């Protein structure tokens, strides 16, 4: 079952021994790839190389930097998380990204997933609504992936100004795909996201438009909190 904000944060804080030990971030990054990424069949050499290079410690608050390579999602503020490494890696792999494709990251947060896709030579637009997270992400990408274009705006609207996109990735779980996004896909485009239906199990999914509507294929079950901004409004009961 996907963890909520409190359980994720509590799990992090219980790992004080790890926090003291992980100070050599370069070494921790290599251990992350060898212990977390390769064992879950992430075998795209481009993804592995990018994850060996990108400094995740620059995407979290200072107090959580020693935990940047732990096998869990990390609270980055305002109900948002830096997605667990193996989830991020698997989502990028099932997206089957190709060089020069246009990609939109919805809920780009502090920029890790956008930078990862950019390292795979995609043309990446990062959409973020939270100014504080966006500022971190812009600074991170300016160093690690300067080709990323940042857009400040509501997540549910997507980014029609830069559409169409070959790939749209939502970095966080949603109850359903926001209605605006399928219309921003190029022909043969796809949306990769975690869908967590009410009362159900969260799964990483590939969604593709068809003549009959959006076809959603579940690929693997996953633990990832909902994006607060994209949670549906509570229904009124009479």
Q: Answer with the residue of higher pLDDT: 238 or 232.
A: 232
What does R_g of the chain's alpha carbons equal in angstroms? 17
pLDDT at position 237 is 52
Q: What is the CATH number of the domain that holds 99?
A: 3.40.50.150
pLDDT at position 200 is 95
pLDDT digits (tens, 9 = 90+) for 59-74: 999 999 999 999 999 9
Reported residue count of the chain is: 238
Instruction: Report if residue 156 sits inside a domain.
Output: yes
pLDDT for 152 beyond 90: yes
By the 10 Å C-beta count (0-12 exposed, 13-18 middle, 19+ buried), 200 is classed as exposed
Instruction: Report if residue 34 sits inside a domain.
Output: yes
Give the structural domain span for 56. Answer: 25-230
pTM value surpassing 0.85: yes
Instruction: Report if residue 12 sits inside a domain.
Output: no
Q: What is the mean pLDDT of residues 13-32?
A: 70
Domain count along the chain: 1
Q: 102 Cβ partners below 8 Å, 6+ apart? A: 122, 123, 125, 162, 164, 165, 166, 167, 186
Instruction: Report if residue 36 sits inside a domain.
Output: yes
The residues that bridge with 152 in the sheet, in sequence order, are: 128
pLDDT for 86 beyond 50: yes
At 16, is the pLDDT very low, low, confident or very high (cuts 50, 70, 90)? very low
Q: How many other CB atoms are found less than 10 A from the CB of residue 122?
A: 26
């Amino acid at each position: 079952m996907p963890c909520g904000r409190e359980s994720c944060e509590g799990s992090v804080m219980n790992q004080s021994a790890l926090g003291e030990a992980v100070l050599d971030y370069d070494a921790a990054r290599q251990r992350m790839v060898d212990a977390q990424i390769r064992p879950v069949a992430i075998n795209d050499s481009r993804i592995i190389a990018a994850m060996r290079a990108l400094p995740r410690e620059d995407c979290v608050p200072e107090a959580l930097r020693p935990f940047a390579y732990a096998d869990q999602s990390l609270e980055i503020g305002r109900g948002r998380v830096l997605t667990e490494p193996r989830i991020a890696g698997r989502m990028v792999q099932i997206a089957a990204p190709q060089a020069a494709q246009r990609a939109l990251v919805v809920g780009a947060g502090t920029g890790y997933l956008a930078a990862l896709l950019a390292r795979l030579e995609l043309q990446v637009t990062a959409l973020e609504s939270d100014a504080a997270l966006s500022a971190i992400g812009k600074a991170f990408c300016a160093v690690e992936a300067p080709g990323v274009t940042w857009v400040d705006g509501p997540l549910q609207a997507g980014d029609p100004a830069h559409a169409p996109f070959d790939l749209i990735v939502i970095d966080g779980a949603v109850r359903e795909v926001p209605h605006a996004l399928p219309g921003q896909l190029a022909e043969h485009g796809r949306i990769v996201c975690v869908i967590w239906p009410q009362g159900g199990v969260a799964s990483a999914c590939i969604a593709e438009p068809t003549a009959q509507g959006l076809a959603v294929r579940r690929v693997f079950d996953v633990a990832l909190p909902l994006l607060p901004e994209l949670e549906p409004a509570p229904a009124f009961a009479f």
